[in-house]
Structure 1
Amino acid sequence: MSSSAPTAGTASDPSAAQWTQAAIQRILNVTLSRDEAEQSSWSLTYLKEVAEELAEENGGQVPGLEVGLVDRLLLSRLSMDPEADVMTDDAELITVLASLPREESSWDYLAHSWARCKQEENSFRKLPAPVVSSRQAVLDQIRQLLVSYIGLVLQNPEMFPRHQKRGKLTVSPLVLVPTLLKANSASSGSSLYGGGASSSSTSNVADWASLPADEVSAFLTDLIARYGKEDEDELGALLGPALQEITRRVRDGDQDDSAQDSSSSNAAPAAPPADLQRRVAEAMRTRNFGALAQLLQQQQGGAGAGAGGVADGARQALAALLGGGGGAAGGLGTPQKEGMTLAGLEWRVHSNAVAEIVAHQRLAEMVTGLESFSPADTTAPAFERDSLFGPLLRLSAFTATYPSLTRQFFSNLKGRPRAEVDNNYVTVRGSLDLMYAVNFQIFNALLRASAESRERVVDFWAKACRLNIKRAAMRVKPELVSSDGFMVNLFEMLLRFAEPFMDARYSKIGRIEPEYLRIQKRYDISELTRLRATEQEAKEWVESAAPHATPPNFITEAFYLTIRLANLGLGKAVRSYDDKEKELGRYKQRVQEYETDRPQWQNTPQAPQYEAFIKRAKAEMEAGREELLASAAQLLNPTLTEKVVTFLSFVMTWLVRMAEPTGQHPHPTVTLPLPQEVPKHFAMLPEHIFEDVVDILLFFGRYQPNCLTQSAKDDLVTFSVTFLSSGWYIKNPFLKAKLAEIIFYNVMPYGSLSTGALGETINFHPLALRHLVPAMMSFWIEAESTGSHTQFYDKFNIRYHLSQIFKVIWQNPQHKQRIREEATGRQSDFVIFINRLMNDVTFLLDDALEKLQELHAKQVTMDDEAAMAALDEEQQKDLVSRVSSLEGQIKSDLAFGHEFLRVLVDFTAETKDAFMTAEIVDRLAAMLNYNLDLLVGPRCQELKVKDPKKVGFDIKQLLRQILSIYLNLAAKAEFVQAIARDGRSYRKEIFFKAAGIASRHMLKSPAEIEVLEGLVGHVEQVKQMEADDDEDLGEIPDEYLDPLMATLMKDPVMLPKSKVIVDRSTIKSHLLSDSTDPFNRAPLKIEEVIPADDLRAQIEAFTAERRAARPK
C-alpha cells in the first residue's frame, strides 16, 4: 500500500495536517508512536509494524497520520490476533495485544470507528466554510474506507482474526440487527412513532456493537453509496439477512438467533434447497416413512450447503408423521410459535425499524429483489410465515393465530365489566391502526422505489391470491391456507393504495380497464363462477381476447387485486365469523333442549353423558364468544370499516356501470330497468365480486349499521334497486335475496333511528321512489323458486325481509302511489304478487293453527298422569320431542304469518280493485272465512295451549288483522258475493261472534264493528239472491259446468293442448301458482287459451231461458 509524506496546512486551513492526524487517531484509536500509546495507558493501539515499515520507506522518519495511510492502518489494526500472537517474545506487541478491548470483534471495532468518524464532524461545524468543506472531505474518505471494510468483514468474516465472540458468536450480516432496530428511534423525526428500541429488543444482542440511533440513516446511506450503485445483490447480501432476522423475531417472538455457532455460515441458517424441501414434503404427504428415513440418512454429517436445514426438516417431518410433532405449517424446520403480538410493544420496534430502512429508495428496491421477499416454490402458510414481510403482515387479533391476545383481552367475560371490554377494544384497535399504518408505509416505499420494484410488489399481492385460492371454498382446511389476519391485513393495505382513485365523485372510475380480467395472468379465475355465464362461455370469451400492446395501469391492477383480496381476505373472514356464530347458536339450542328435558333423563343411565355434553358445550360456547369478540375487534374496527365502506361503494357503482349499456354511470345516473340483453363484460365477471359486496355489507348491517356514510347509503340503494328491478342480470337468486336482506337489516330500528340507518334514504332516494316498489314485488314473485332443495322455506325468509321493507316505506305517499300504479298499470303481474302473498298467508296460518291443535292435544296427554304412565320410556321421549318440535314450527309459522298478513292488510287498504279479480276474490274470501271460523268457531278451544307467548300465538292480534281485511274490502260488491259463495266456512253466527269479541276487547272501534255487521247483512242478501238464482236455473247440463270447480261457466275457454274447456277465471287462478295445463301438465300461458264463444253463447241462452221461465 502506498503512503505519502506529511502535508503542510493550506491557506484556508493552516492546521489541516495537525487536525487530520488527530482526527485519524481519534477515529481509528491508533497511533504510530510508542510514546503516545504509553501516555494513553495503551488505550491507543500502537501499530508498531506499520510504523517500522513507514520509517523504512521514509529514511527512518515516521510520517504523521494522513488519509492516504488509513487503508494500511485499518488493515494492520484488524489483523491483530491476541490468540495467534500469544507466543511472541516482542514485549511491546504483547503489551499492545493485552490492551485491546476484550471480546471486541472486527465488526465492533469498525462500527465504533465509523461512529467516532461521524462524531468528529461536530468538532468543526462553526469554523469557516472552506475549512468545514476540506475537513468534511477528509472524513468522507475515511468513512468510505470504513464502510468498505465493514462490507468485507460482514461477507468474509474469517478474513480477519477477531471474527468471533466467546468462541461461538460469529460476525455475519446479522450483527447489523441491533443497529437497524434503532432506526425507528432516530432523532430525525422520520420514524412513524416515537420511542426507541426497548432494552429487551437489544439486550440479547448487546454483545455486538450498535450505532447511535441518530446515525443509523447516515450509515445506511454510506452502505448504499458503497454497495448499491450497480449490483443490488451485494447490498442484499449485507442487509437481507438482518432484515429477515428482524421479521423472524416478530414471527417467533425470541430475540437471539443472531448468535450462531462458530461453524455456521456468515448469514442466517441456510434453508433446505427447494428440491429437497419438495422431496420431504412429498414424503410427508404420501406418508412414505422409507423416503423420509433415507433423506435423513443422506443429510447426516451436514454435507453440502444447507444440509443441516434439510436434516432438521427431515427429522421434524418424520417426527410429525409419527405423531411426535415437529414440523410446522410454515415450512420445514420452522417451529410454530405465536411470536410477538399486538398486545406488546416489541412488534412496533421491529416494524418501524423496517419502515425506516426501506425509506431509503435504493434499499427499498433492493428488498424486493431478495429471494425471501417472495419465495419461490412455497405454500400459502409458508408464504405468510417465511416471506420477508409475512410476519409483519400476519399480526392480528384473530384467536386462531394469536390465542394469547384473546386470553389477555377477551377471556372470562362474566368476570369483566363491560367498560373493561370496551377499553380492551380500544387498546387492540389502536395497535391494529398502528400496524396498518406502518405496513402501508413499508409497501408504499417499496412500490415507489422503481418500476421493477413496483412490479415485484404487485406480483407479491397476486401471489398471495394465487396461493390462497382454496380460501374461496366453503370449507377450508386452515393448515393449507394463510390466516385470516394475513389476508385481511393485505386487503386493508390494498384499500389504502386504492384510496387515491376512489374520490367522492368517482372521477377516476373510467380508468379501470374492463378487459383486465379477460387478459390478466396475475391469478387464475378460470374456475370461478360467473355472474351470468357458464364456465365454457367464460373460457371461449378469454380465448377470443385480442392482445393488448400496453400493460394495464396501476389503478386497474390495484382495483382488481383489492377485489380479489376482498374475497379471499375480509369476505372469507366475515363468512367464518357468521359460521362460528351459527355454530354457537346450535350449541345454545341443544343445551337449552337438554336442560328443558332434564326431568326425562336425569335419572337414566345416560345422565352422565348428558351432563358431560352440557359442560363441554358451555365451555365451547364461552370459548366461541371470546373468539368472536377478538375477531370483531379487527373486523369491526371503525378505521377498517370506514375504508371498506368507501371501497364497497366504489365497487357497487362500478358494477352498475358495467351493467348499464352506456357504461357511464354515475355520470349520469343509471336508467332503470336495464335492457334485457346483459353486457358481456358484466356477464363474465366472477360472481364473488357481487357476493363479497353483499356479504360484507350484510355483516356490517347486522353488527355495525352506523358505519354507512350518506354517500354509501345512496350507492347501496342505487345498487340494490338496480339489480332487484333487473333480476335477470344475476343468475344466483340468493345474491338478490341478500340485497333485500341488507336493506332489511339497515331499516331495523337502531339507536335513535326508528327506521334504521337506511330508512330515510329509501324514502327519499329518486331511484327508490320510482323503482323500489316494483322491484320488491317482482322479487317477491321470483322468490317462489330459488332452485335450492330448501326453496319452500327460503321464500319465507326472503319475503319476510321484503315485508319489513314494505313496513318502512308504507307511510310514504310517493311509495304508495307507485303501489297503486303497479296495481293498475301492471295488473297481471300485480295479481301474481298478491296471489303469492295470499298463498303464503294461507299456508302459514293453516299450518300454524293445525299444529296448535296437535300441540293442544299432546299437552293434554302430558298433563294426564294415567295417559303418560301408559306410554313406555321411548314413547314419552318421542312425545316430549314432538312437543318441542311443534313449538318451534308454530313460532316460525306465526312469525311469518303475522307479517305477511299485515302486508295483506295494507295492500287491501290501498289496492282494493286488484283483489276483486275473479281469480283472486273467491280464494281470498274462502281463506278469511276459514280462519275466522277456526279462531272464534267451535274449534277455537282446540287452539288453547300452555304459554301461547312461547309459540308467538296472539289470537287477538290474529283476529284483529283478519277483521281488518274484511273491513278494507267490505264496500266491494265482488267481495261480498265471494263471501256469500263460500259454502264451506261462511256462517253469519261466526261473524257476529267475532264482532262481539272485537268489541269486548276493543280490537276494533264501534264504527268498525258497525261496518262489519253491515257486511254480514249484505252477504246474507246476496246469498239469498244467489240461492234463488240457482233454484231458477235448476239442473245444469254437465257441459256447462267447469270441470275443476263444478260451477256454471261464464267465460269458457279451451286449453290448447288437452282440448279441455274450463272457465277463464278458473284457469287464470290455476296459472297463478302453476304454469301448466292441469289436465296433461303441458306448459301453458293464459294468452294461449282459446275462447269457446259457441259454448258461451249456449250458456248465456240457457241462463236467459231459465230465468225467463221464473214465476212472476
Structure 2
Amino acid sequence: MAVSLEELLRATSRPDGYKDYSTLPSEFPSPLLIDAVDGVLLYQLAENTDIKKPGFVYLKDCFLRIQQAKRISKKSEEDAFTLQETEKLIVGYGLVVFQIEEFCMGENNFAAYMVDILQRFDDYTDYLPLLIQRAIQEESLMEFLNNFFVSLKRHLTSVKLFDMNDTSLYTNTLACFEIFLSYKQVASVFTQVEGFFAPFNTKPNQFEKTTLMGPIFTLSPLNPNVALRNYGDGLERTQAQLNVLHEALQAEHRVVLDRLFFIVDKIIRGSGESRSAMLSYFAQIINKNHLRRGDHANSNKLASNAFVTNIALLLIRFSQPFLDVSYKKIDKIDVNYFNNLNLLLDLSEETRMNSDFKEADAFYDNNKKSEDNKPNFISDCFFLTLTYLHYGIGGTILYDEKISPQVKRMRQEVERIRGVAQTNDMFARFTAMQLPSLEKTLQITQSLKQALQGFFCHKAIQDEVFEFVSGASTFLMRVIDPSHEFPFKPLSLPLIPDQVGVENVDNADYLREHAPIPFKYYPEFVIEGLINYLQFISKFVSAPLYSSPRLHSCVELSTTILRCPELVSNPHLKGKLVRFLSVGAMHMGENAPGFMMKIFENNELVRDNLLYALLDFYVIVEKTGSSSQFYDKFNSRYSISIILQEIYEIPEYRQQVLWQSEENADFFIRFVARMLNDLTFLLDEGLSNLAEVHNIQNELANRAKGLQSFREEDDQELQSKLVSAERQARSSCGLAEKSVALFNIFTEDIPRAFTTKEIVDRLASMLDYNLASLVGPKCRELKVKDPQKYSFDPKALLKSLTTVYINLSDQSEFISAVARDGRSFQKELFDRAVYILGNKTGLVSDEFCCKLMQFARDAQDQKIAEEEEDMEMEDAPEEFLDPLMFHIMTDPVILPASRVTIDRSTIKAHLLSDSTDPFNRVPLRLEDVVPDDELKARIQEYKRQKMANRFSK
C-alpha cells in the first residue's frame, strides 16, 4: 500500500493539529507505526514511477513539510518524537541519494539535483546543514563533498555564462560554498575534493574553468561579459554617468569579495593541510601566468584579469594583519624566505636585484634551510601576494596600457570608414561591409577599458592595495638594512662608500660584490610590482597615494634604491622610480605643491639622500644596456629635472647643491656635462624637426593652392613624414624645456660649475648656435602652426637661453669661450635678441637688456684680442696642438693605451661622456693618464717667446 507523506503526517499527529492544513482526507486514517516511515520513503524513492520530480528534490519538499508540521503542531512529546524521527530518515535518505546516483527511479542524477538547489536555494538553507552534519557523523563527508561539488562544477560549466550578470546563480553558488565551509570539518578537508587542484599540464587560461573554485574567482566587473553588458550599450556617457555605473558595480564587487574572502578564510583556518594546499593552488596559478607581464603576451592564452585580480585582492586582505602601520608582526616575515626548500614560487627565470642566475642558485644551494624549518603562513602569504601584485594586478595594468591606444585607433578607423562609406564607388561599398564588425569590436574593447577604469577608481579596493604596497615597501627596507631592524631603528645611507670620481655604471662588478645579502638575490619583480602599481594608480584622482599617511614608505624605498646603486642593477627599474617621484613633485594646482613635497622636505632619510641619488642617477642612466639606451635616458632625466626644479626651492636642498658643486666638484661636473650633452642634442633635434614641420606644412599648403611643388614625395609620404617630425619635435622640445629651466636655476647660484675647462667651450658653442637658430636668418623656418602643440615657445626659449648668458656674464672663462666660438658667435645676434625680448615683446627688463648687450660687447672685444693672439701662434709646431681640438695644449698628458698626447682638459671633457680612450676605445680613467712634463715645458717656452716678441714690438 502506497502511503503519501501527507497521510503519514496526518496519521502521526493529533486530530486537532489539522486545523491549519489546506487539504484534509475525508476520513482520518488509523495511526501508523514510526518504522513504517522508512518503507514509505524507500518506496517513493526507489519504486514509485509516478513521482515526477528528482528524488533529492522530493526529499527536500518532504523536509519542508516536516518543518511546517513542527511549526503548527501542539508539540506533544509523541508528535515531536515522530517528526524528529521522520526528519532523521529524510536527512539520511538525502545523503544516500547524493551518494548513489542510481538509487532513485526515473531520470535522477546529481546534475538534476544541482539545478534545483541553485534555482531554489532558499528552500535548502536548513536541509543542507543537516546533510553535512549527518555526513560528518557517518564519516562519509568526503564522498558527499566530492559528489556535491563536482556536480556543482559541472553545472557551472554547462550553463552558458557564469558571471555577475546572473545574480541569482552566482549568489546561490557562493551560498553553497559558504554553508559547507562554515563547518570546520569540511574546511579542513575541502582542498582534497576532486578537482580542487588542476593537473600539472593545465594551460594558464584553464585554471578558472577546470578547477573547483575557478568559476567563483572570476566574479568581477572585469569579466568581459559583465563589462559588455554594463558598458557596451553603445551610448556616449559623460564621466558623471560613468561614475554612477562604476559605483553600482563597485558595490556589488565589494560584496562578492567579502564572500570570497569568507570562503577562502574558512579553508585557510580549516587545518594546516588545507592552509598549505590553498596557498599551493594560488601559487600553481601564478607560476603558470608569468607571461601576463610579457610585452607580446596573448591574453587569450593566459588567466583572465578578473580571475587573477580577485585572487590578488584576497591575498592582500590576508596580508593586512602583519603589515599594519604598527608593524608589530613584520618580523614574522622571513627575510631569508627564498632559502627555503620546496618554495611555492617558481623563480627559475626571474631576474634578480643584482646577481645573475648562476650566482643566485649557488647562494641558495649553499644556504638551504632544513626540511623541518618550513616557512610560516605569514611569509608564504606575503611573498605570494607580492607575486600576484606583479603578475596579477600588474598584468591587468599592462593590459590597460595596451588597450587604451587600441580604443583610440579603432575610434579613428570607425570614423574614417564611416566617411568613406558615404561615397558611391565600389570600394566604399566594400568598406562599409566591414563597419558593423569593427563597431562591435570597438564596443567590446571600449567596454573593457571602462570596466578597467571602474576597477582602478574603486577607492575601497585601491586603499587596500596601497596599504599592502606601503607595508611591503617597509619590509623591503628591512631586508636592505644590514641588521634587518628597520623600521624600529633608522637606516643609515649610503650602505657602501660612494665611488667618487668613478662612474658607478662602469663599476658593476664592484657594486655587485658589495650588494647586501639576501636582497641582491631577491627577484626583481618584488620591487617592480610595487612601482608599476604606484606609477599607474597615480593617474586616478581618487588614488590613495594622494592622501595616505603611509606614502612615506614608498618614497623612502625609492630614495634608498636610487641612493645605493649596488641594490638594483636594472636602470629601467630605477627610471620607473624617478618617474613615480616626479609625479609627486609636480604642482597639483596653481598654488598647490606636489603631494610628495612635504615628505621630500620633512622625512630625514629622504631629505638627506634624495638630491645625491638624483644627481648620481642622472649621470649613470647614460647607459641602460638596451639598444634604445640613447633615448631611454631622456625620459629619466626629464623626470629628474622636474624633481630637482621643485626641491631646489627648499633651502636644505639648495644648500646641498651648493655643497656638492664646491666640495664634490668632479661629481657635480659630471652631472653638468650630462645636462649639457642632453640640452645640446635636444635643442638641435627639436629645432631641426620644427624646421622640417615648417617646410612640409608650407609644401602641403602650396600644393593645395595648385602652386609649384619643390619636393619629390607624394602627399601620403609627406603626411607620414609630417607626423614623424611632429612627434620628434614635440618630444625633444618638451624634454629640452626642463633642461633649460635647470640651467637657468643652477647657473644663477653656482656659475663656477659651468665655466670649468671641461665644460665651458661646449656650453658657449651650444648657446651661440641656438641663439643663431632663434634670431638669425633661418629663424623663419621655425614658424609652425600651433607651436604649443610641440611644447615650443620661441620667445620663452630665447629668454631662457639669454638668461644663462646673463648668469655667467661675470665669468671671464665664459666670455672667452663665447669669443672663441668662431662658428656661431656674432654680436649682431645679441642685438636682435635684445630687440625681440625688450622692444618687441617686453618679456625682460631694461636692466636685463643692458647686461646682455654689455656681455656681447665684452665677448666681441675678447674675440678681437684672441684673434690677434691666434695669428701670432699660427706657426706653432703640430706636436703642440691638441689632436682633437687643434688648439695649443696647456697641460699635455699621454694616454696609457694609445700613447697619444692630448690636453688634460680635452680628455677630461671626453671622459665625462665616455670612459674610454677616444683613439682605441680601451677603458680609461683620468688617474691613469701620464703628464708629459717635457712637452709642457717646451710649449710654455714657446708661448713665453711669442709674448716677449709681441711686447718688443
TM range (shorter): 0.7 to 0.9
CA contact (8 A) 2:820 2:863 kept: yes
Of the three residues 120, 123, 134, the one matched with 1:226 is 134
Specify the code of the residue in structure 2 equivalent to 1:425: H
2:763 corresponds to which residue? 924
2:931 corresponds to which residue? 1091
Matched residue of 1:1062: which SS?
Answer: strand
2:239 corresponds to which residue? 418
Specify the code of the residue in structure 1 equivalent to 2:375: P
Matched residue of 2:170: which SS?
Answer: helix
Matched residue of 1:908: which SS?
Answer: helix
Does residue 1068 of the first structure (1) align with residue 908 of the second (2)? yes
Matched residue of 2:539: which SS?
Answer: helix
Specify the code of the residue in structure 2 equivalent to 1:517: F
Q: Aligned pair in 2 of structure 1 residues 892, 618: CA closer, same or farther (>3 Å)?
A: farther
Of the three residues 146, 157, 161, the one matched with 1:338 is 161
Question: Deviations for 1:408-440, whole angstroms, at most 9, x for unmatched residues?
Answer: 3354242x3433211100001011100100000
Question: Alpha carbon RMSD of aligned pairs, Å?
Answer: 3.8
Matched residue of 1:373: which SS?
Answer: coil
Question: Deviations for 1:467-495, whole angstroms, at most 9, x for unmatched residues?
Answer: 43443543333443321111110111111
Q: Aligned pair in 2 of structure 1 residues 227, 617: CA closer, same or farther (>3 Å)?
A: closer
CA contact (8 A) 2:208 2:307 kept: yes
Does residue 429 of the first structure (1) align with residue 250 of the second (2)? yes
2:329 corresponds to which residue? 508
Question: Which consecutive unaligned segments of at least 5 residues does structure 1 have?
Answer: 1-23, 52-64, 87-100, 182-200, 255-336
Q: Aligned pair in 2 of structure 1 residues 449, 959: CA closer, same or farther (>3 Å)?
A: same
Does residue 527 of the first structure (1) align with residue 368 of the second (2)? no
Q: Aligned pair in 2 of structure 1 residues 868, 1085: CA closer, same or farther (>3 Å)?
A: farther
Matched residue of 2:538: which SS?
Answer: helix
Aligned mates of 1:1102, 1:157 — CA distance in 2: 111
Q: Report the alpha carbon displacement of residue 961 of structure 1 after superposing the two structures with TM.
A: 0.7
Q: Aligned pair in 2 of structure 1 residues 618, 1100: CA closer, same or farther (>3 Å)?
A: farther
Specify the code of the residue in structure 2 equivalent to 1:875: D
Q: Aligned pair in 2 of structure 1 residues 85, 704: CA closer, same or farther (>3 Å)?
A: closer
Q: Report the alpha carbon displacement of residue 582 of structure 1 after superposing the two structures with TM.
A: 3.5
Q: Aligned pair in 2 of structure 1 residues 376, 1011: CA closer, same or farther (>3 Å)?
A: same
Aligned mates of 1:611, 1:82 — CA distance in 2: 62
Does residue 1048 of the first structure (1) align with residue 870 of the second (2)? no
Q: Report the alpha carbon displacement of residue 29 of structure 1 after superposing the two structures with TM.
A: 4.6
Matches within 5 A, 1:781-930: 781-864=619-702, 875-930=714-769
2:502 corresponds to which residue? none
Aligned mates of 1:588, 1:120 — CA distance in 2: 65
Q: Aligned pair in 2 of structure 1 residues 858, 669: CA closer, same or farther (>3 Å)?
A: same
Aligned mates of 1:749, 1:417 — CA distance in 2: 27
Q: Report the alpha carbon displacement of residue 27 of structure 1 after superposing the two structures with TM.
A: 7.3
Matches within 5 A, 1:28-43: 28-30=9-11, 41=25
Q: Aligned pair in 2 of structure 1 residues 803, 495: CA closer, same or farther (>3 Å)?
A: same
Specify the code of the residue in structure 1 equivalent to 2:516: P
Matches within 5 A, 1:566-715: 566-585=389-408, 623-675=444-496, 676=511, 677-704=514-541, 706-708=543-545, 709-715=547-553
2:190 corresponds to which residue? 367
Q: Aligned pair in 2 of structure 1 residues 864, 633: CA closer, same or farther (>3 Å)?
A: closer
Does residue 980 of the first structure (1) align with residue 819 of the second (2)? yes
Q: Aligned pair in 2 of structure 1 residues 44, 732: CA closer, same or farther (>3 Å)?
A: farther
2:835 corresponds to which residue? 996
Aligned mates of 1:949, 1:811 — CA distance in 2: 27
CA contact (8 A) 1:410 1:630 kept: no
Aligned mates of 1:758, 1:43 — CA distance in 2: 86
Q: Aligned pair in 2 of structure 1 residues 582, 760: CA closer, same or farther (>3 Å)?
A: farther
Does residue 724 of the first structure (1) align with residue 562 of the second (2)? yes
Does residue 1082 of the first structure (1) align with residue 922 of the second (2)? yes
Of the three residues 364, 374, 377, the one matched with 1:542 is 364
Q: Aligned pair in 2 of structure 1 residues 1072, 615: CA closer, same or farther (>3 Å)?
A: farther
CA contact (8 A) 1:154 1:173 kept: no
Matches within 5 A, 1:190-339: 201-202=119-120, 211=123, 213=125, 215-216=126-127, 220=129, 222-229=130-137, 231=139, 234-246=140-152, 254=159, 337-339=160-162
Matched residue of 2:718: which SS?
Answer: helix
Does residue 395 of the first structure (1) align with residue 246 of the second (2)? no
Question: Which consecutive unaligned segments of at least 5 residues does structure 2 have?
Answer: 497-510
Q: Report the alpha carbon displacement of residue 368 of structure 1 after superposing the two structures with TM.
A: 2.8
Q: Report the alpha carbon displacement of residue 463 of structure 1 after superposing the two structures with TM.
A: 2.5
Matched residue of 1:1053: which SS?
Answer: strand
Of the three residues 36, 40, 43, the one matched with 1:77 is 40
Aligned mates of 2:13, 2:946 — CA distance in 1: 143
Aligned mates of 2:391, 2:30 — CA distance in 1: 65
1:933 corresponds to which residue? 772
Q: Report the alpha carbon displacement of residue 229 of structure 1 after superposing the two structures with TM.
A: 3.8
Q: Aligned pair in 2 of structure 1 residues 608, 697: CA closer, same or farther (>3 Å)?
A: farther
Q: Aligned pair in 2 of structure 1 residues 406, 211: CA closer, same or farther (>3 Å)?
A: closer
Deviates more, 1:697-706 or 1:1069-1078: 697-706
Of the three residues 886, 891, 898, the one matched with 1:1058 is 898
Q: Aligned pair in 2 of structure 1 residues 1054, 612: CA closer, same or farther (>3 Å)?
A: farther
Does residue 563 of the first structure (1) align with residue 386 of the second (2)? yes
Q: Aligned pair in 2 of structure 1 residues 720, 617: CA closer, same or farther (>3 Å)?
A: farther
Question: Deviations for 1:91-148, whole angstroms, at most 9, x for unmatched residues?
Answer: xxxxxxxxxx9647765665455556656766899x9xxx98x997887666444433
Aligned mates of 1:227, 1:846 — CA distance in 2: 81
Specify the code of the residue in structure 2 equivalent to 1:1095: L
Q: Report the alpha carbon displacement of residue 738 of structure 1 after superposing the two structures with TM.
A: 0.4
Matched residue of 2:824: which SS?
Answer: coil
Q: Report the alpha carbon displacement of residue 735 of structure 1 after superposing the two structures with TM.
A: 0.6
Specify the code of the residue in structure 2 equivalent to 1:386: T
Aligned mates of 1:1089, 1:249 — CA distance in 2: 79
> What is the aligned-residue identity percentage?
29
Matched residue of 2:195: which SS?
Answer: helix
Matched residue of 1:727: which SS?
Answer: coil
CA contact (8 A) 1:705 1:757 kept: no
1:1018 corresponds to which residue? 858
Q: Report the alpha carbon displacement of residue 362 of structure 1 after superposing the two structures with TM.
A: 2.1
Aligned mates of 1:82, 1:896 — CA distance in 2: 81
CA contact (8 A) 2:834 2:853 kept: yes
TM-score, normalised via structure 1 length: 0.76
Larger RCO (CA within 8 A; separation ≥ 6): 2
Q: Aligned pair in 2 of structure 1 residues 536, 31: CA closer, same or farther (>3 Å)?
A: same
Matched residue of 1:840: which SS?
Answer: helix
Of the three residues 971, 990, 1004, the one matched with 2:810 is 971
Deviates more, 1:523-532 or 1:570-579: 523-532
Question: Deviations for 1:37-70, whole angstroms, at most 9, x for unmatched residues?
Answer: 9x962787768xxx7xxxxxxxxxxxxx5xxxx3
Aligned mates of 2:812, 2:283 — CA distance in 1: 69
2:99 corresponds to which residue? 155
Question: Deviations for 1:871-903, whole angstroms, at most 9, x for unmatched residues?
Answer: 899634333432332232222221112221111
Q: Aligned pair in 2 of structure 1 residues 368, 876: CA closer, same or farther (>3 Å)?
A: closer
Aligned mates of 1:934, 1:384 — CA distance in 2: 62
Question: Deviations for 1:735-789, whole angstroms, at most 9, x for unmatched residues?
Answer: 1100011122333444687334323322332222221111111111122111111
Aligned mates of 1:338, 1:1037 — CA distance in 2: 89
1:450 corresponds to which residue? 271
Structure with greater Cα Rg: 1
Aligned mates of 1:1111, 1:427 — CA distance in 2: 95
Aligned mates of 2:582, 2:374 — CA distance in 1: 43
Matched residue of 1:1106: which SS?
Answer: helix
CA contact (8 A) 1:1053 1:1064 kept: yes
Matched residue of 2:531: which SS?
Answer: helix
